[in-house]
Amino acid sequence: MDLKTSLACTKVSLYGATFTWGKVGSKISAALSLFDGSRARAACQLLRWLRQSEETWLIYSWRLVAAKSSPSLLAAKSSRSLFTRVSSTKRPSILLVFVTLGFLFSNGARSEVLFDGEWDGFGGRFQCNNCAPQWLADIFQWFAGSMSNHWETVQEKELGLITPVLDPTSPKHGVVARIEVRPGDIVKGSERAEVAHMMRQEAVTGKTVSFPVTESDGHEFYGIAVKLPSDWRSPGKNHGTGAVWGTFLQLHGPTILGAPPPIELDAEDDFQLGMCNGDVLEGGTRQVPKDGRTYSFTNGDLKPGQWVQFMLDVTWSYSDNGHIAIYRRDEGEKNFSKVLDLSNIATLQYKFGASKNEGQHYWKTGFYRSSTEGFTSVVWLGPLVRGTSFNDVAKAAFGTP
């Protein structure tokens, strides 16, 4: 395909999309028409105009992010970058313009999903694409961060404790993760099998980079579904005498703080929220980080053997102007019910006297439990989805908003 175009009203057809460009001046206009009837979601990103000598380079990145596509599309999960060189008799007055256009083929609406951690590729190209497992003292640690919308690191005592399985009873009737944690599966001091560090594709460079949580992320939504076995048992006291915890989703705070997670969803004798938020040293009055606090849900029933869907509505803040609300929908239910609402709180953590930029807040999911003798814990999880719209996140996580 000849990608050279003039600035005088030229159309370029790219994989089912037609772009029309007019003159470049103080305003830049783009007309996009998507005519493919596929159910695939297409995210179309116009990355930048960069003045270079007497010429302008248009960098356009086309990315399809849905697993379903029609035969007319070349690939359902692919990325392509097209560089279109255009001659210019007059340099554009705008040196750098960022425009992001996201469309769904099914309805033409803009997608508000930022991360969709589907499990269907886990264990293959997802888990180890151009990488090799590393034996780190007592665990296998995989680095799978060569693609967007996946996790960078997989931590498990041995291979196969996080496994993709087909579950037609799951909210999306597809592939979920089966998580197994056995007595003695010690990873970084505790029994766990988890994935960590969301990855995303950077809009400007096209590189796959880490996707942490920052205060500037503002208001976000997260969705995840969980199922416990019918014979579920809560983890026991840590090493027989300590605290009890069973975490299937956690926002890990900066490692340098050494504190419990600022946000965690737990499955023990019931579902609950744990938080260790704000200043972990409480204005310097503590020598060690403060303990976390537990919040009960109005409905914390575990519903063993059934899928339970959770939505998190979070406003990120280091100070007391943050917010978190938890919504729940049980198997067979149509609507979500709010089970917890906390306002005027911090949702991130920091240490008195230190910069708030020390270290990252990042997500982990799987199962992390107090070290327990005598039995194995098994949990099934749907994909963790992150975005800026409640309905879009719920649809991507559970199939229906």
Q: What is the mean pLDDT of residues 136-152?
A: 54
- Together in a domain, 198 and 263: yes
- The pLDDT of residue 36: 30
Alpha-carbon distance 62 to 206, whole Å?
10
Residue-wise pLDDT for 42-69, tens only, equals 332 332 222 332 333 232 232 222 222 3
Greatest alpha-carbon pair distance for the chain in Å reads 77
3-state DSSP assignment of residue 233: coil
Boundary of a domain, candidates 75, 92, 110: 110
Residues 89 and 46 both lie in one domain: yes
What pLDDT digit, counting tens, does each position of 224-252 carry?
999 999 999 999 999 899 999 999 999 99
Look at residues 110, 126, 159 and tell me which one is the last residue of a structural domain. Answer: 110
More confidently predicted of 102 and 150: 150
221 and 236 part of one domain? yes
Q: Are residues 83 and 125 in the same domain?
A: no
Q: CB-hemisphere CA count at 13 Å for 327?
A: 18
Mean local confidence (pLDDT), 174-185: 95
Q: Which residues are CB-neighbours of 108 under 8 A, at least 6 positions away?
A: 34
Q: Report the percentage of the chain scoring pLDDT > 90.
A: 55
State whether 103 and 176 are in the same domain. no
Q: Which amino acid is at 269?
A: D
Residues 242 and 98 in one domain: no
DSSP state for residue 398 in the 8-state scheme: H
Q: Is 176 in the same domain as 250?
A: yes
Whole-number percent of the chain with pLDDT over 70: 65
For residue 278, pLDDT over 70 is answered with: yes
pLDDT for 149 equals 52
CB proximity list for 191: less than 8 A, separation 6 or greater:
181, 182, 183, 184, 185, 368, 369, 370, 371, 372
What pTM value is reported for the model? 0.72
Question: Residue 102 pLDDT more than 50?
Answer: no
Pair (151, 215) in one structural domain: yes
177 belongs to a structural domain: yes
Residue predicted with more confidence, 205 or 264: 264
Residue 20: domain span: 10-110
φ/ψ of residue 199, rounded to 5:
-120, 150
pLDDT at 7 over 50: no
Does residue 360 lie within any of the structural domains? Answer: yes
> Would you give the distance in Å from CA 140 to the centre of its chain?
22
332 close to 168: Cβ distance less than 8 angstroms: no
Residue 88 included in any domain: yes
Tell which of 110, 135, 151 closes a domain.
110
Report DSSP letters for 50-104, one per residue: EEETTEEEEEEEEEE--S---TTSS-SSEEEEEEEEE--SS--S-S---EEEEEE
Q: Average pLDDT, stretch 194-210?
A: 84
Is residue 294 domain-resident? yes
Residue 1 inside a domain? The answer is no
Structure tokens at 238: 């840590």
**How many beta carbons lie within 10 A of that of residue 222, not counting itself?**
24
**Residue 86 in this model has a pLDDT that exceeds 60:** no
Using the predicted structure, report yes or no on whether residue 289 has a pLDDT greater than 90.
Answer: yes
User: Are the C-beta atoms of residues 272 and 296 closer than 8 Å to each other?
Assistant: yes
Answer yes or no: is 2 within a domain. Answer: no
Q: Do 193 and 333 share a structural domain?
A: yes
Question: For the domain that residue 187 is a member of, what is the CATH number?
Answer: 2.60.120.200
Q: What is the pLDDT of residue 308?
A: 98
Report the chain's mean pLDDT, rounded to a whole number.
Answer: 74
- What counts of helices (H) and strands (E) characterise the chain? 1, 29
The answer to whether residue 206 scores a pLDDT higher than 90 is: no
Looking at the structure, tell me whether residues 360 and 388 fall in a common domain. yes
Same domain, 35 and 86: yes
371 to 239, 246, 328: CA distances (angstroms):
5, 10, 28
With H, G, I as helix, E, B as strand and everything else as coil, classify residue 284. Answer: coil
Cβ-based neighbours of 103, under 8 Å, separated by 6 or more = 32, 34, 41, 42, 43, 44, 109, 110, 111
| Phi, psi for residue 85 in degrees, rounded to 5 | -95, 130
Residues 175 and 323 in one domain: yes
Tell me the three state secondary structure of residue 214: coil
Number of domains in the chain: 2
- Would you say residue 184 lies in a domain? yes
Cα angle 58, 61, 62 (rounded to 5 degrees) comes to: 135
The half-sphere exposure of 183 on its side-chain side, counting CA atoms within 13 A, is 8
Note whether residue 329 is domain-resident. Answer: yes
